[in-house]
């Protein structure tokens, strides 16, 4: 990661659940990034299917100072997403190389299957409020 000059990165399940992270000090930032990455991945896959007949699995955005790389990784039959931020001192080519090595290392770990998350309970409003409270803190009583 240091060689690729990654500033921060998150490994997550496609559902948006974080597996591991580095470079972040705030849990809310990680949750936001996971939610956005999951949504971007879903959109990119569908866009790829419509435009190219197959899903897009990688995404790269070059900003003025920082660059973002997002890609799919698989290990032990489980699919993951990785999103990393790197500076202008590195390059997409170098990050791709180190990501390929990371992918190989991940495969060796043979992670267990993702724990089954219970489905929606039907209490949509309640779940929404609980999620908002978790993200932004509980709202005081009026």
91 binds another protein (CB under 8 A): yes
Total of chain residues touching another protein, rule CB under 8 A: 8
Q: By CB under 8 A, is residue 92 in contact with another protein?
A: yes
Work out the burial of residue 115: count CB atoms within 10 Å of its CB; fewer than 13 is exposed, 13-18 middle, 19 or more buried: exposed
User: What's the min distance (Å) between Cβ of 94 and another protein?
Assistant: 5
- 74-111 burial code (b ≥16 CB/10 A, e <16): ebeebebbbbbbbeeebeeeebeebbeebbeebeeeee
Binding residue (CB under 8 A) for another protein from 90, 99, 102, 106: 90
| Contact call for residue 96 and another protein (CB under 8 A) | yes
When asked if residue 135 is in the footprint of another protein (CB under 8 A), the reply is: no
């Amino acid at each position: 990661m240091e060689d690729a000059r990654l500033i921060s990165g998150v490994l997550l399940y496609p559902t948006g659940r974080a597996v591991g992270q580095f470079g972040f000090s705030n849990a809310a930032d990680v949750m936001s990034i996971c939610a956005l990455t999951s949504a971007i991945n879903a959109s990119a896959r569908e866009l790829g299917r419509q435009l190219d007949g197959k899903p897009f699995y990688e995404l790269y955005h070059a900003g003025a100072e920082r660059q973002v790389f997002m890609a799919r990784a698989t290990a032990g039959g489980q699919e993951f997403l990785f999103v990393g931020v790197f500076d202008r001192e590195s390059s997409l080519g170098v990050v791709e190389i180190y990501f390929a090595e990371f992918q190989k290392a991940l495969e060796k770990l043979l992670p267990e299957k993702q724990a089954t998350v219970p489905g929606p309970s039907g209490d949509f409003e309640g779940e929404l409020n609980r999620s908002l409270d978790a993200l932004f803190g509980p709202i005081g009583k009026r």
